[in-house]
């Protein structure tokens, strides 16, 4: 279910805070709306929420966040998937971090009131983790790389966009939230071949996929597992959208009551 079938009471706080959502991949945006969002397209969902698919990486996420602010957003949310860094995060596990750690070890905080209200809405409905998420500058393909990053930072998950959006939000003085679902657990090693047939927006090049599988046929089973893991993450994100409501409880940033 997308945002189009939500109660009137869930939509009312949007007049107080205008939410802009950055998501890296088209596939991640599908958990927010059934409408297909084109590359670089800015889409307004029912209730006024703006969504932009940025593409993978800090620079793209930063540009998308600034675009949303320029369109009037006064709260920013990064939405999508992440890689797990600890063994008890399985595909589909939900992470609602209180802090984001940048690649330079800068620390950004999600909005406390917004975070508290979101956790309250989801408690008893879906399990979640609140430990930090850390910024990765490249896709971590090996389990040992993920385990090392956990030991270095204490973060339980890694992505390439949250810190960039958090930095933009901090600079603009607007509330920030991160919602991440685990798409690849720490024990899954991502084949190098997978990096060659998926672009920065998550689009699949079928001919390149077949070519890589012909060279590395053993990668097939890992890719199937990764596909299932990503689907589990998408399912979690869609459930969070349904439970939280059209504005994802952004009104908590203004101290509004449910």
Q: What mean pLDDT do residues 25-49 have?
A: 84
Where does the pLDDT of residue 249 fall: very low under 50, low under 70, confident under 90, or very high at 90 and above?
Answer: confident
133-148 pLDDT, tens digit each: 999 998 887 889 999 9
Determine the pLDDT at residue 253. Answer: 46
Q: What mean pLDDT do residues 7-31 have?
A: 69
d(CA 46, CA 51): 11
CATH of 8-254, one of 3.90.1150.10, 2.40.50.70, 3.40.1440.10, 3.40.50.1580: 3.40.50.1580
Q: What mean pLDDT do residues 62-90 have?
A: 95
Determine the pLDDT at residue 3. Answer: 42
Domain boundaries, the chain: 8-254
């Amino acid at each position: 279910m997308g945002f189009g079938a939500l109660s009137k009471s869930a939509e009312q706080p949007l007049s107080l805070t205008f939410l802009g959502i950055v998501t890296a991949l088209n596939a991640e945006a599908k958990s927010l709306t059934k409408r297909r969002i084109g590359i670089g397209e800015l889409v307004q969902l029912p209730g006024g929420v703006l969504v932009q698919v940025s593409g993978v990486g800090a620079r793209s996420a930063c540009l998308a966040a600034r675009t949303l602010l320029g369109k009037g957003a006064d709260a920013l949310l990064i939405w999508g998937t992440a890689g797990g860094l600890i063994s008890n995060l399985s595909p589909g596990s939900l992470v609602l971090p209180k802090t984001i750690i940048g690649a330079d070890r800068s620390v950004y905080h999600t909005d406390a009131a917004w975070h508290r209200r979101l956790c309250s809405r989801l408690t008893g409905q879906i399990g979640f983790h609140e430990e930090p998420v850390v910024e990765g500058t490249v896709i971590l393909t090996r389990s040992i790389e993920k385990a090392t990053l956990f030991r270095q930072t204490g973060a339980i998950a890694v992505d390439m966009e949250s810190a960039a959006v958090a930095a933009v939000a901090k600079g603009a003085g607007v509330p920030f939230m991160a919602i991440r679902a685990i798409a690849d657990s720490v024990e899954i090693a991502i084949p190098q071949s997978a990096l060659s047939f998926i672009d920065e927006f998550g689009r699949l090049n079928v001919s390149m996929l077949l070519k890589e599988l012909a060279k590395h046929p053993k990668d097939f089973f890992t890719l199937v597992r990764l596909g299932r893991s990503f689907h589990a993450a998408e399912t979690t994100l869609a459930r969070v959208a349904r439970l939280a409501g059209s504005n994802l409880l952004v009104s908590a940033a203004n101290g509004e009551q449910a």
